């Protein structure tokens, strides 16, 4: 893993605060607290770069990040958005031959970091942790399946509203149209049309670098896909 220039490990007082606040010890049968460091990533930083092997298993506790892959032809595919509380690097922990896809922060993000080299044997023999990890991976697979089902079942306006709420940093949305089109399974023209309709209705407002959310209540209402 290449650590971003702005990433920083928090001081001991802040570490104790986050470790206690999110009760991570309950996920393990061995004392994990002495191994944990708490780190902060600024918006736009890489938590993992592509084709790197993670040095840390991260537990994202605050903020949002996006997972994507760059194909050999240079095309970038957005795979998923990650929100608290979630593990990152768990698949690489289970499969030492697998190298990471890119994970980049969408907002300022706080993570609990567990060093893999130091803790790998303990983690892979900890029944409590493995049971939780199995449940986590199952829920993750279910969410991904649900996304593809929703792409067929709901109009673009609803799915785009959900996407905007998921990917926005506070009230600012700025994802690349090409990546959004692939993620939502729609044409570029259709996406621009729906964005224009939302602007016309004063739900969002176009800016030079993205869109300002003007009517969060409306977006939240139509974003409910369940």
Query: pLDDT tens digits, residue range 42-73?
Result: 988 999 888 778 889 999 999 999 888 877 78
Residue 92's pLDDT is what?
A: 82
Query: pLDDT tens digits, residue range 146-189?
Result: 766 666 678 899 999 999 998 888 899 998 898 899 888 889 99
Q: How many CB atoms lie within 10 A of CB 169?
A: 16
CATH homologous superfamily for 8-126? Jelly Rolls (2.60.120.10)
pLDDT band of residue 191 (cuts 50, 70, 90) is very high
The fold of the 153-222 domain, in CATH, is Arc Repressor Mutant, subunit A (1.10.10)
pTM > 0.85? no
Edge-to-edge strand ranges of the sheet holding 76-83: 46-48, 102-105, 64-70, 76-83
Residues of the chain with CATH 2.60.120.10: 8-126
Q: Are 172 and 212 in contact (CB under 8 A)?
A: yes
Is a pLDDT exceeding 80 seen at residue 201? yes
Residue 196's pLDDT is what?
A: 95
Residues of the chain with CATH 1.10.10.10: 153-222
């Amino acid at each position: 893993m290449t650590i971003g220039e702005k990433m920083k490990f928090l001081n001991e007082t802040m570490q104790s605060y986050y470790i206690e606040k999110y009760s991570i010890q309950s996920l393990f049968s061995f004392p994990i607290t002495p191994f944990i460091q708490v780190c902060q990533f600024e918006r736009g930083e890489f938590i993992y770069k592509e084709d790197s092997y993670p040095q840390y298993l991260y537990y994202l506790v605050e903020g949002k990040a996006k997972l994507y892959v760059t194909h050999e032809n240079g095309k970038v595919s957005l795979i998923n958005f990650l929100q608290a509380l979630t593990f990152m690097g768990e698949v690489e922990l289970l499969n030492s031959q697998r190298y990471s896809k890119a994970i980049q922060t969408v907002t300022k993000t706080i993570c609990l970091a567990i060093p893999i080299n130091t803790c790998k044997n303990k983690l892979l023999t900890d029944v409590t942790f493995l049971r939780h990890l199995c449940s986590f991976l199952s829920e993750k697979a279910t969410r991904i399946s649900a996304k593809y089902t929703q792409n067929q079942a709901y109009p673009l306006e609803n799915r785009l509203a959900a996407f905007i709420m998921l990917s926005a940093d506070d009230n600012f949305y700025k994802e690349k149209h090409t990546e959004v089109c692939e993620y939502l399974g729609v044409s570029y023209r259709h996406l621009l049309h729906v964005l224009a309709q939302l602007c016309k209705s004063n739900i969002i407002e176009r800016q030079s670098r993205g869109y300002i959310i003007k009517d969060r209540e409306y977006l939240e209402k139509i974003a409910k896909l369940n």
